[in-house]
Amino acid sequence: MNTLGYRSFAEDWERRATIRTRPRRLLENDEKLIYPPCRQPLVLSETFLEHCPQWRDFVLAQSFYKFINDVVIFETEIVDKIARSIAKNRFSQPFPPACRIDAMTVVIDEDYHALVALDFLQQAVHMTGIQPLELPGQIELSRALPAAQARAPAHLHDAVELIVVAIAENTVTQDVAAFSRDDSVKRSIRGLMADHLIDEGRHAQFWTQLVRLYWQGASSEDRDCIAEILPVFLAHYLTNDLQKGFDRHLIEHLDISADIRLILRHEIDAMDFPITRQHPLVGNIVSFLHHSGVLQTPSVAQALNDYLARPGSLA
């Protein structure tokens, strides 16, 4: 494998990784919120504001718990798996030692992020007295990854996993950045997000470089096959079905009248935020595909363009 241009971040990890440099953050008991209302449209709906604003803190707490749960699933069940595979040289295409060492730092970081997230969840439960409802066992990527791999021949399963995890890592980095800047939430939570961002920015670059290395050595047939699979992945990844299901579950636990509950359910079902080519998520994905060299392949560019042109394809 041609590793020309690969830049290891092992020294940067030693100097800046949050597991090396950050003390434990403690959740402060102040007037700030635990979760941004802009990320939970339920609490901003007219019906909610008029008939049950007293349930705001409960809904935001549960939404925070879901966010934490999503982080743990993503980092321990998905990213950890492939990073560990690369680090231990079990990936179908071997990477050089520098890549494998960097991959092990990703494993350490992601497991540490999960530990910090669970610590914050327990702190939040203790402070608010609000116990978590049953949390989802999957995230969007849990469905999108196997759906994409099912369309690939066996020898490309690892490659598909590498590319879609890299897409997700780049997407998560931007999401965490937005969270860390939200002044409505407690400083410790914004600090948690800022800490996370330091590591995730490094990870995003790592996955981009690895995809670039893989893509440079991939055959034209394999590239074209993956190009056909990318729209399948996007169709399963860029959805809000799981979030809507969680919000419906939340509504069932509010002590409100049956009529108001029915109206809130209808409002949630009607809340569609189409993910068009102008959406930041799509911009992040296109930017990643460009910087990793994948988008320079004509079949990828064509498949992505055709998919984005479909009416409602990303809704």
- What pLDDT digit, counting tens, does each position of 27-40 carry? 999 999 999 998 89
In a domain, 205, yes or no: yes
CATH no. for residue 120?
1.10.620.20
Q: State residue 314's pLDDT score.
A: 40
**Packing angle between helix 140-150 and helix 220-237, nearest 10 degrees?**
150
Query: Would the pLDDT of 71 be above 60?
Result: yes
- What is the spatial distance between Cα 53 and Cα 48, in angstroms, rounded to a whole number? 6
Do residues 160 and 228 lie in contact, with contact meaning Cβ atoms separated by under 8 Å?
Answer: no
Residue 276: the pLDDT is: 62
Provide the mean pLDDT of the chain.
91
DSSP state of 25: P
* Contact in structure between 47 and 267 (CB atoms under 8 Å): yes
- Residue 291 structural domain: 29-309
In a domain, 83, yes or no: yes
Number of domains the chain is built from: 1
Q: How confident is the model at residue 293 (pLDDT cuts 50, 70, 90)?
A: very high
Integer Cα distance of 300 and 226 in angstroms:
8
Does some domain include residue 314? no
Average pLDDT over residues 40-60: 95
- Give the number of C-alpha atoms closer than 13 A to the C-alpha of residue 184, restricted to the C-beta side: 11
Domain-located, residue 177: yes
**Considering the domain boundaries, does residue 95 fall inside one?**
yes
User: Per the domain annotation, does 224 fall within a domain?
Assistant: yes
Residue 38: inside a domain, yes or no?
A: yes
Residue 149 lies in a domain: yes
pLDDT confidence tier of residue 178, bands split at 50, 70 and 90: confident
Name the least confident of 98-107, 248-257, 280-289, 297-306: 280-289
pLDDT tens-place string over residues 137-150: 999 999 999 999 99
